[in-house]
Amino acid sequence: MVLTGAEIVIRCLQEEKVEYIFGYPGGSVLHIYDELFKQDKIKHILVRHEQAAVHAADAYSRSSHKVGVCMVTSGPGVTNAVTGIATAYTDSIPMVVISGQAPTHMIGQDAFQECDTVGITRPCVKHNFLVKDVKDLAVTIKKAFYIAQSGRPGPVLVDVPKDLGVDKCEFDYPKSVTIRSYNPATKGHSGQIKKAVQLLLEAKRPLIYAGGGIILSNTADRLTKLAHMLEVPVTNTLMGLGGFPATDKQNLGMLGMHGTYEANMAMQHADVLLAIGARFDDRVIGHPEDFASVPRKIIHVDIDPSSIAKRVKVDVPIVGNLNEVLDELIAQLKASEGKVEPKALASWWKDIDGWRKKDSLKYKMGKEIIMPQYVIEKLYEVTGGEAIVTSDVGQHQMWAAQYYKFDKPRRWLNSGGLGTMGYGLPAAMGAIFANPKTPVACVTGEGSIQMNIQEMSTCKQFRLPVKIVNLNNRYLGMVRQWQEMFYGNRYSESYVDALPDFVKLAEAYGHVGMQITKPADVEPALREAFVKHKNELVFLDFLTDPTANVYPMVANGKGLSEMVLAEDL
């Protein structure tokens, strides 16, 4: 069948069973948008800014395990999308971005809205393509979907010059593709897995440190099984939350810069560390030399060899897909009929229980002023722990991570690696499209929400009942906290003056707005939002304590054992 390039793009996306494209039209993609108009299998979600299209596609993927798809026009469409693409890249999110480009014969001549899209996005995509011939279009899109979701996932961009939209060729969508230069790891090395099992069984103070890889590979159930077989403690990274149930008694909570006392102490004192789909980020291990100064054996499972031995020395590297590696690990463990020595394990748990007694997440409740932590605790209660929670970046993000207990994967969506303010609201939109029946809350701050606040308009158009939980402390709180701790209280440019009236703003966009100023009103307001206004977007503007800080805290460049607790102050 002979089709135009524009028809081919749409047909390929249909073949990939794409439900939604998040995008924004413009000159170079008009041929494609015309074809989109003529069909009804794929729905297009018109955002208000390309960055939001990418975040929405990203969160659609994070909350569903499907590939997110977005479409933008050449030039400013692409440059607006870059922050979203980089956000997805650092957190390894599978995504396909289709971008328009100036016509092939004009590329390189500073044509209208021409930009070097492949060059600009190269460092923040898993791979990208400039398609120069309509005959290559279908196979390139096939490759893009394959690359995006296999191996270590990531965004792939396909740049399509405008003239390809009308060029014609025979359409045949390949069932599969092989790329000789790309063969992602699958099975782990059995000998290495055997060594890992041995090390774990001989351990006196074993710890599982599980990251975003568990979520990305859908292996939360396997991790839980493994942890229960071994009866060892588990800690999650910010990206791994929900990979092991937060309410499980073996869970120590999040570790790292704002991790719990017990998680960081366990990380520091474990003699055998099983790292699974986690990349020893600097926000997790603190100062690498301090971390390395404690002797311990490290087993590291990751699909990306470059994640292994990048920041710490590893004793047993296992390169493979977690699906297969965890299956084999569990099978070998079963076959060995071994157990971690009960006496040692009991004493290890005793240590941990001692650390837990510090109750490092406790905070002082105010009578007059709302504590931000309290809002998250109530959000957890009111939603029965069943909501999908997206967040922006800052103190509110950390409080959401610390106080909302995620028992299931793909419920916690945030920008961990890039730390992109502006992620939360568009992410909530993407999550609703993937999970129309699940309540979705966007925990944000008055700074972050304004970075993509225009998306309230998209929410109106598509009737997206996001519950925006704005922890309004009138400060770029995370910045203010660092200035208080490390810059002698010089609050340089961290006070946000002249805030809008968020209630009126929400109303102006056609939504419900509420401002909550007293602790006693927190729960009723949340109930009203989630029950009475279930099907509406509600902007909950909580005026919270402007002086509240996030604790515990491991200062930048310090060792994990040098944690600052709220009670120390």
Partner 1 sequence: MRHLISILLENEAGALARISGLFSARGYNIESLTVAPTEDPSMSRMTIVSIGSDDVIEQITKQLNKLIDVIKVVDLSEAAHVERELMLIKVRAVGKDREEMKRMADIFRGNIIDVTDSTYLVELTGDSVKLDAFIGAIDNDLILETVRTGVCGVGRGDRILKA
Ligand X SMILES: Cc1ncc(C[n+]2csc(CCOP(=O)(O)OP(=O)(O)O)c2C)c(N)n1
My answer on whether omega of the bond before 342 falls inside 30° of 0, hence cis, is: no
49 near ligand X (CB under 6 A): no
CB of residue 181 to partner 1, shortest distance in Å: 4
Q: Which is nearer to ligand X, 206 or 416 (CB)?
A: 416
CB of residue 489 to ligand X, shortest distance in Å: 16
Active site residue 50: yes
Assess contact for 299 and 316: CB atoms under 8 A: yes
140 near Mg ion (CB under 5 A): no
The DSSP string of 374-431 is: HHHHHHHHHTTT-SEEEE-SSHHHHHHHHHS---STT-EE---SS--TT-HHHHHHHH
Assess contact for 396 and 477: CB atoms under 8 A: yes
CB of residue 56 to ligand FAD, shortest distance in Å: 19
SS3 state of residue 4: strand
**From Mg ion, ligand FAD, ligand X, none, interface partner of 421 (C-beta below 5 to 8 A by class):** ligand X
Structure tokens at 212: 């975003």
189 near ligand FAD (CB under 6 A): no
Q: Which is nearer to ligand FAD, 162 or 258 (CB)?
A: 258
461 near partner 1 (CB under 8 A): no
H-helix or E-strand containing 349? Answer: helix 342-356
302 near ligand FAD (CB under 6 A): yes
Pick from 448, 456, 463: nearest CA to 508: 456
Q: Which is nearer to partner 1, 315 or 407 (CB)?
A: 315
| Angle (nearest 5°) at CA 68 between 63 and 71 | 145
Among positions 23, 447, 465, 513, the unique one binding ligand X when judged by CB under 6 A = 447
Active site residue 478: yes
The one catalytic residue in 7, 35, 50, 446 is 50
In angstroms, rounded to a whole number, what is the distance separating the alpha carbons of residues 204 and 233?
Answer: 12
Among positions 11, 152, 162, 410, the unique one binding ligand FAD when judged by CB under 6 A = 152
Backbone angles phi, psi at 209, to 5 degrees: -115, 105
**From Mg ion, ligand X, partner 1, none, interface partner of 479 (C-beta below 5 to 8 A by class):** ligand X
List, in sequence order, every residue forming a beta bridge with 561; answer none if it has no partner. Answer: none
CB atoms within 10 A of CB 264: 30
H-helix or E-strand containing 467? Answer: strand 467-472
Q: Which of residues 476-515 bind Mg ion (CB under 5 A)?
A: 477
**From ligand X, Mg ion, ligand FAD, none, interface partner of 87 (C-beta below 5 to 8 A by class):** none
283 near ligand FAD (CB under 6 A): yes
Assess contact for 128 and 158: CB atoms under 8 A: yes
Q: Which is nearer to ligand FAD, 74 or 481 (CB)?
A: 481
For the window 367-406, what string marks contact with ligand X as x by the rule CB under 6 A?
-------------------------xxxxx----------
Q: Which of residues 296-335 bind partner 1 (CB under 8 A)?
A: 304-306, 309-310
Among positions 2, 109, 175, 180, the unique one binding partner 1 when judged by CB under 8 A = 180
> Residue 351: which residues within 8 A CB-CB, separation 6 or more?
205, 265, 269
Report the Cα 247 to chain-centroid distance in Å. Answer: 21
Assess contact for 74 and 110: CB atoms under 8 A: no
**From ligand X, Mg ion, partner 1, none, interface partner of 62 (C-beta below 5 to 8 A by class):** none
The one catalytic residue in 142, 143, 162, 378 is 162
List, in sequence order, every residue forming a beta bridge with 3; answer none if it has no partner. Answer: 169
Q: Which of residues 438-467 bind Mg ion (CB under 5 A)?
A: 445-447
The stretch among 3-11, 221-229, 278-286, 511-519 that binds ligand FAD (CB under 6 A) is: 278-286
Report the Cα 31 to chain-centroid distance in Å. Answer: 33
Q: Which is nearer to partner 1, 310 or 504 (CB)?
A: 310
Active site residue 324: no
The one catalytic residue in 239, 398, 478, 563 is 478
Q: E-assigned strands of 246-306?
A: 251-254, 272-276, 297-302
Cα separation of the two ends of the chain: 72
Q: Which of residues 306-325 bind ligand FAD (CB under 6 A)?
A: 307, 321-322
Q: Is the dihedral of CA 141, 430, 384, 367 positive or negative?
A: positive
CB of residue 315 to partner 1, shortest distance in Å: 15
Integer angstrom CA distances of residue 408 from 160, 313, 433, 505: 39, 31, 19, 34
Active site residue 106: no
424 near ligand X (CB under 6 A): no
Residues that bind Mg ion (CB under 5 A): 445-447, 473, 477
Annotated catalytic residues are 50, 112-113, 162, 478
Residues that bind ligand FAD (CB under 6 A): 91-92, 152, 211-213, 216-217, 237-240, 254-259, 277-279, 281, 283-284, 302-304, 307, 321-322, 393, 397-398, 416-417, 419, 478
Residues that bind partner 1 (CB under 8 A): 118-119, 122-123, 126-127, 130, 147, 179-182, 304-306, 309-310
Residues that bind ligand X (CB under 6 A): 392-396, 419-422, 445-448, 471, 473, 475-479
